[in-house]
Structure 1
Amino acid sequence: MTKIRTCRGAAKRFKITGTGKIMAYGANHGHKLGKKSMAKKKLMLKKRVLHGADARNMKRLVPYLKG
């Protein structure tokens, strides 16, 4: 069986926890930050766990992802 190619862009953006969950940063933190509250901006900076279909799709993109 041949190896699966890893999507290098996804490998740089996602990390995996010790229990196998995939962590990702929050979206909407690139521009138009003046109208967003500081609390909202701080929430977007934190990593969060991907659930359901999102996590399944990421595991297909980065099959050999390490922590």
Structure 2
Amino acid sequence: MPKLKTHRGAAKRFTFTGSGKIKRKKAFKNHILTKKSAKQKRNLGKGGLVDKSDHKRVVEMLPNN
């Protein structure tokens, strides 16, 4: 059976924590920032965790981690 390949787009977006959770960045922080409040932009800068409903899908894209 051939080796599994890592999904390179996912590898650039997700990292694993020591306990096995998956860290991610939040969306909507790239452009059109003038109409967003400072509070919203500040909170978008903080990281988040992948929801448990998406956890399996992300793990399948990152088989070597």
In structure 1, distance between residues paired with 2:27 and 2:19: 24
Deviations 1:7-36 (A, max 9, x none): 111101111000000000000111111111
Structure-2-length-normalised TM-score: 0.87
Q: Name the SS of the counterpart of 1:11 in structure 2.
A: helix
TM-score (norm 1): 0.85
Percentage of identical aligned residues: 38
Aligned residues: 65
Shift of 1:2: 3.2
Quote the residue 2:2 is aligned against. Answer: 2
List alignment gaps of at least 5 residues for structure 1.
Answer: none
Deviation at 1:3, TM superposition (A): 2.3
The residue aligned with 1:34 is: 34
5+ residue gaps, structure 2, are none
Q: Could you say what the CA RMSD is over the residues aligned between the two structures, in angstroms?
A: 1.2
Structure 2 Cα separation of the partners of residues 36 and 42 of structure 1: 10
